[in-house]
Structure 1
């Protein structure tokens, strides 16, 4: 279990969540203290894997770019690697079964419970958000930056690892302008990892 107390969302942040007319798009990413989002440099343990499995289970569909889709399929498609720890199995089972939308102009086809979007990103994501259902969950590096630039992300979750690496891809690098966020949730884990949830201030103000 996490050992730190969370925070109570502000009234304005609760109002922002209540006003979501469409299914929300949530971006969750592991990031180091110096902003690196390379998946290979984060901490890995049973508690964090359980948290990741729970996060997936709370969503209805995954939205991936090409690189993240291929990486996740290679790592987690069942049957999995028998050499992995048993505590990774819940995450593998959940992600293997989930429906996925893959955004790529270079892939010819996808499987693993996935459909392919080759063009018209903004229109495709807006149409997905208008469909009945729950949360759309996205991850990775390049696609979420474009989704943020288009103003399509409703909630940001930064899972901050107590580590400085000094290199690697940076969080939301290449945004055209600053992105102002309001903190609406926080959990701390035994490893020192802190997960923080934010909503855009434009949604809070609206």
Structure 2
């Protein structure tokens, strides 16, 4: 995948191939930002320092605790809080904070940058195309919901049959390596994406 600035000057991508993964998109974002750096150190609109929510996903948590279920539950209890997701049918976990993100320094540097949440990785602080934003939201929602499901499983000792009924492809992942096709399939299944709109994302 490759990110570009389209004719409207918005961040867009050239195309999504059938075998494209979330990792491919994240790598494309890194390459784009290397060529089009953003002045984070002098940012006055810092999302990380304002009262906006910092949404947390399962891969980020699993990486931070080295895939230890007990530490994951402790991390969620001590560092996160449930908040209503106004766009999806589940309450998501966000970083527990008064204003600034607990992982940001006074110099606007992220202390967990290599393990930061996927929603942070996908966010580019400039105008973005409609379809980029749709893909970003679908990826983010899938991983955000996966953390909610994982905590439900860990806290309730659910039976295997119940666990297998959860179709979220990001469940218990510790890498952002699932295919975008799987993301779109799941989004269709749960009603986040209409079939007739899917073709516009490629």
Normalized against structure 1, the TM-score is what?
0.28
Higher helix share: 2
Higher strand share: 1
